[in-house]
Amino acid sequence: MPYQKEEGPLRGAKLAELHLSTREKRFGFDRDNYIGTTPQTNDWSREGESWSQWFVRCRLAPQLKLAEENGLKPTEGTATMLEHIDVLFGDYMPEASLVHGDLWGGNASFDRHGRPVLYDPAAYYGDREVDIAMTKLFGGFGRGFYSGYSEVYPLDAGHSDRVTLYNLYHILNHYNLFGAGYASMAMQSLEELCRECLS
């Protein structure tokens, strides 16, 4: 079957294979890297540290600190919300898979043979849902991508509950990189998460 330069199930299936075949016992990476031009801390998770605690410590807390330095005034209750994000996970226990880390449409294309490729990663070992969430942030990928992924590695039933949480990291990063145009988007996400985690 020839490859085609259109969004079909193959890209999703290949990403699922990556997530399924690359496992670590800890979250993080053996070196720090960048998300855009922002330094990204990849400290390995500490003994007894959950995925959600790692995500707050290594992803949300640094971006929020930088955002405040850049003039964002987080929603009242944000600090408390960060202590209660476990409510978004229920019984879901993420495994550490190798993730792309910056998977928006601008980092996906096709090679000269029409095969899907991904590039410019901000890779680390984390919950595979971070990649799926970001594909939905700036317009999303085609339906074939999601069906191809799910056929190989079905998502947890509650994955949609965590999309706002995971994309907050990227929205804050865009605010920190590109300025006030992303402030309202960041505030809306923080307000939504405060409602969901603290109600």
Q: Which residues are catalytic?
A: 102
Alpha carbons 16 and 155: distance in angstroms, whole number: 10
Contacts by 27-32, CB closer than 8 A, 24 or more apart: 27/51, 27/54, 27/55, 27/96, 27/124, 27/125, 27/126, 28/54, 28/58, 28/124, 28/125, 28/126, 29/123, 29/124, 29/125
Tokens 């807390």 belong to 61
Q: How many distinct helices (H) and strands (E) make up the chain?
A: 8, 7
The answer to whether the beta carbons of residues 26 and 96 sit under 8 Å apart is yes
Neighbours of 103 (CB within 10 A): 23
